[in-house]
Amino acid sequence: MSFVKIDRNNFEIISLLLKPNVHFVSSSYDTDFVVTGSQYVAPVRSKCIKQVIDLEASFNNLVADVADGDSNVSKYNIDNFVRAVSLHEAQTAARGVPGEYTLTGSLTRYLDLIDDAPKDVRFDKKIDVFRFDPPFKYTKNSTVKNVIRNVMMPEHRHRYENCGFWYSNYNSLNFFGVSGSDGQVIPTGSCLIYPNVDNCYGLETEFSLNFWINPRYSKLTDRGDYRAGTIYHMPTQMSVSLVSGSDVDIYGEPESFKILLQMSASSDIEPSTIGLSPLGMVGGVQRDLIFSSSTPLKKNHWHHVCVQWSATSNNRTGSIFIDENETYFAYNQPTIGSSSAVPESLSRPSPAGLIIGNFYHGSLADNAKLLHLNVTASAANGQIASEGVTPLGTGNFNPAGVHTGSMFTHPLQAEVHDIRLYSKYYDRGYGNTFGAKLRFESPKDDLSNLRLWVPPYFFPDTPTREVLLTPFQKSPGNGNAADRTADPFNVQFSFGVGGKLINLENFVRDFAQSRNPRLLFLSASVLTSSIENITADQFVYESHFDPNFGGEIDASPFPSGSLIKRNMTILPCDNGLFTPHYDILEKSYMSASELFKKSNGVSDYSIISLERLIPTASLYPGLIFEGGSIFDDIVGTAPENPGVAPGSVLTIAQRTKDVSSNEISIFDISNLYYGNKIHPGSFEIKDANLTGSQGNISITLKDNGRGNIYRADALTKHAEWNSVGNILYEEGIVVIKSPHLLYFCKDKTDMKFKGEQNIHTMIVNIPANEWNFTSSSNVTYQAITPTTGANDSNLKSIYITGVNIHDDNFNIIAKANFAQPIVKTQEDEFVIRLKQDF
């Protein structure tokens, strides 16, 4: 035995940061539930090790099956029993116990059977990514949600962005649906109709219309063509539409688009019937005020569009800006007179409604009827009042063209946001500082000349209307507090019957006029027929929309697809080229709303809180049990029984005692997938078919490396600060908080990320110098020559069989035994390298 002192120079320490790629996919689209990318619990697995058979347990299970009279006795227990008996026979024969068993015969029988034995279950066990929505009853998943919300998020709040129970107030208006497609469930006649009170949206001697648009969708009609979709339509005055360009993809769908502008009387011509060249007078109708942009818009790219004209500026030509590229209105018509651009100069009546997201094809009289109060309607305050819209008159409601599908047949297929109409020309939009702000920022202090502004921001107040409470009941519609909503989604529908319904009215406010639009075919009536075993989700999602009928009435007892489209009209905005400002909310009468406050009580108008959505005082303390007359009388309607009258408290809130949002999705990822933590900036999750969208909407989310989950679908710069959820890298927890992504990845989860796993390697270099390690104190030691050769006859050798590492007190702290002894003589010199990974 010899001792060698080693110091830091003898140690080599190496640390490796491994980043394994993970791709997990689970899908329930097909009849067979498909999962790929699951992680095995056992890191090292064998194909040969079989399950250990317990003779007594197998025998008892077999006896129990027979005793229960089971005609299909468990084959698993029978097989195990036969194998165990064969092994027992072989063991008995091997011990020489007298009997009829032979060792050879019993072992042969056992080996024949063992090939079919099940493998060790530990080697087959896998762990999947666990996804869940908050339950309707108090379960372990309720506890997981509360631990995330009350423990994990506060713990990581100093480290990660938006690590709280809120989401960002930055969304877009999402219009989708193809008019004329077979089997269409989503209504294509839907749109927003803003009342033109006192001609507030009428064009003047100068104007500037600005908006951001992303041509996200390019589906073709059943005729195989792309139908023009209208963004903004003020009948008799101006229409702005999105039309296809000349580029197509491998599927034959357009990849580029153009802006089609129609002015004056030309604005009443259906855009799908217009070529992109001026046509002059056709059939007595003026068609020479039709223009298109020369710069194309790219599919899935955010573009800023500005349409402007002035009777005194720029030689009255007018311009269409696509980003920084300008197109003059007409190359063969250098000027546009005020009588053409401003129809009021010709004493034409103004339309009653401004349409966003579709083209109105009809008369001005029928346009007014869309905003008339129908005094004969069954609702106490009339149909328009029940929808929370200021009526502009009385008389017939919903003209016939609405229900025949001929009045709104040009649905927009795009996302838009920050729609603004100014009654002023701003020097070509980009010629000065304010012009640049028109493009890249929302207005802050200066709201002068602003006629229309739909950001769309969440605003915690709406006009009184009838609010859906259950599939069978709605609020009384008498103007009390129950007829207004102050939350991003229908709280009573959610906490009462477990339904998913966005309060679209709270997102489409025109901040310039402080007025809400009519949501045409974006609402539904309650069920009036007798239906058994219906759930709130079936009421919303199992729709049967008749494409030949533009409204909400169909042959089924369910509402049309209007509720599906309502839930998807607001989506998180991924436009990172734009900076929103929220001064308008801070200065509003709702600035003190709890919905704009974070957990520390500080107001932040860029977020929408998901805490304390209903008052806890309305809950009965301690009453969490279910069943029995007391509980049933208190809660009334429930997810399992939505047809009864609502009780004094909301069922789900009373069951769970949790009044925070349940419209979230939680993903629990085991550390078997990532090791120490998920690598920041590597996480991506995709839902290729958002539940209910019939394949129209695909959502991709990513993390920004600082714990924030944002939408990342556009091919332009993303708004990485726009929070729709959080990822806790060390915990393997992902929470999608935005209620606009209802049932995100419910049908299919496609998740990619990298893990982080540290591997540390320590190498100890132990020198075996010449004339060291040449003797042994072992009493059995004999000095022998290393070989029988004559040149080694004078050498003595020693066999080194192991190395012990000692501390300063000579305690053994590490030990290594060699598989084969090392021969060393007095003349040998080498280094023993010990390597340890941990």
Note whether residue 828 is domain-resident.
yes
User: Average pLDDT in the 583-600 region?
Assistant: 94
State residue 77's pLDDT score.
60
Residues contacting 232, CB < 8 A, separation 6+: 209, 211, 238, 239, 240, 354, 355, 356, 419
Band of pLDDT at residue 31, cut at 50, 70 and 90: low
821 SS3 class: strand
Residue 397 structure tokens: 């409601």
Tell me whether residue 816 is in a domain.
yes
Name, of 101-115, 501-515, 545-559, the range with top average pLDDT: 501-515
Q: Is the pLDDT of residue 783 over 60?
A: yes
Out of 50-64, 131-145, 449-463, 567-581, which region has the weakest mean confidence (pLDDT)? 50-64
User: Of 86-90, 150-154, 592-596, 706-710, which gets the smallest average pLDDT?
Assistant: 86-90
The answer to whether 129 touches 667, Cβ cutoff 8 Å, is yes
Closest CA to 355 of 400, 402, 317, 323: 402
CB 624, CB 658: distance < 8 Å: no
What value does the mean pLDDT take over residues 89-116? 68
Q: Judge whether residue 378 has pLDDT over 50.
A: no
Q: Answer whether residue 783 is part of any domain.
A: yes
Task: Please tell me the pTM assigned to this model.
Answer: 0.85
Alpha helices, DSSP H, located in 473-576 = 491-497, 536-541, 562-567
pLDDT digits (tens, 9 = 90+) for 815-824: 999 999 999 8
* DSSP 8-state secondary structure symbol assigned to residue 78: H
Handedness of CA 380, 383, 389, 392 (dihedral sign): negative
* Measured distance CA(45)–CA(742) in Å, rounded: 39
Please answer whether residues 748 and 25 qualify as being in contact, where contact means their C-beta atoms are separated by less than 8 angstroms. yes
Q: Which domain holds residue 100?
A: 55-124
Evaluate if residue 5 carries a pLDDT over 50: yes
Model pLDDT, residue 2: 78
The pLDDT of residue 449 is above 60 = yes
Residue 838: pLDDT band with limits 50, 70, 90: confident
Q: Show the CA angle centred on residue 640, arms to residues 636 and 642, nearest 5°.
A: 50
Any domain includes 98: yes
DSSP symbols for 133-169: PPPSS--HHHHHHHHIIIIIHHHHTTTSTT-SSEEES
Task: Summarize the confidence of residues 463-487 as an average pLDDT.
Answer: 85
The three-class DSSP label of residue 203 is coil
More confident residue, 384 or 564: 564
Helix, strand, coil share (%) of the chain residues, nearest 5: 20, 25, 55
Q: Would you say residue 564 has pLDDT above 60?
A: yes
Residue at 823 is within a domain: yes
pLDDT per position as a tens digit, 275-306 = 755 444 444 455 668 889 999 999 999 999 99
What pLDDT, on the 0 to 100 scale, is given for residue 560? 63
Cβ 527 vs Cβ 765: under 8 Å: no
Partners of residue 171 on adjacent β-strands:
572
- Containing H/E element for 290? strand 290-292
Per-residue CA distances from 563 to 454, 539, 567, 594 (Å):
21, 9, 6, 27
CB neighbourhood size of 502 (10 A): 22
Q: Which pLDDT belongs to residue 283? A: 44
pLDDT bucket at 737, cuts 50 / 70 / 90:
very high
Has residue 703 been placed in a domain?
Answer: no
List, for residues 335-373, the tens digit of each pLDDT value.
Answer: 666 555 665 545 567 899 999 999 999 999 899 989 887
- Of 78, 101, 124, which residue constitutes the final position of a domain? 124
- For residue 41, being part of any structural domain is answered with no
Three-state DSSP class for residue 422 = strand
DSSP code of residue 401: H
Query: How many separate domains does the chain show?
Result: 2
Q: What is the mean pLDDT of the chain?
A: 84
Q: Which of 66, 101, 124 is the last residue of a domain?
A: 124
Instruction: List residues bridging with 306 in a β-sheet.
Output: 210, 321
Q: Calculate the alpha carbon distances from 366 to 395, 399, 422 in Å.
A: 11, 6, 27
In a domain, 106, yes or no: yes
Percentage of the chain exceeding pLDDT 90: 48
Closest alpha carbon to 451 in 194, 261, 811? 194
For residue 759 the two structure tokens come to 């591997």
Output 528 or 745, whichever has higher pLDDT.
745
One-letter amino acid at 18 equals L
Tell me which of 93, 124, 155 is where a domain ends. Answer: 124
State the Cα–Cα distance between residues 837 and 460, nearest whole angstrom.
58
Segment 47-54 mean pLDDT: 71
pLDDT value at 273 more than 60: yes
Q: How far apart are CA 358 and CA 230, in angstroms?
A: 5
pLDDT confidence of residue 166: 97
What's the pLDDT score for residue 556? 45
User: Helix count (H) and strand count (E) of the chain?
Assistant: 18, 41
Strand partners, 799: 823
Structure confidence at residue 215 as a pLDDT band (50, 70, 90): very high
Per mean pLDDT, which range of 326-330, 453-457, 568-572, 625-629 is the poorest?
625-629
> What pLDDT does residue 795 have?
86
Distance CA 180, CA 106 (A): 75
Query: Which pLDDT does position 67 carry in this prediction?
Result: 62
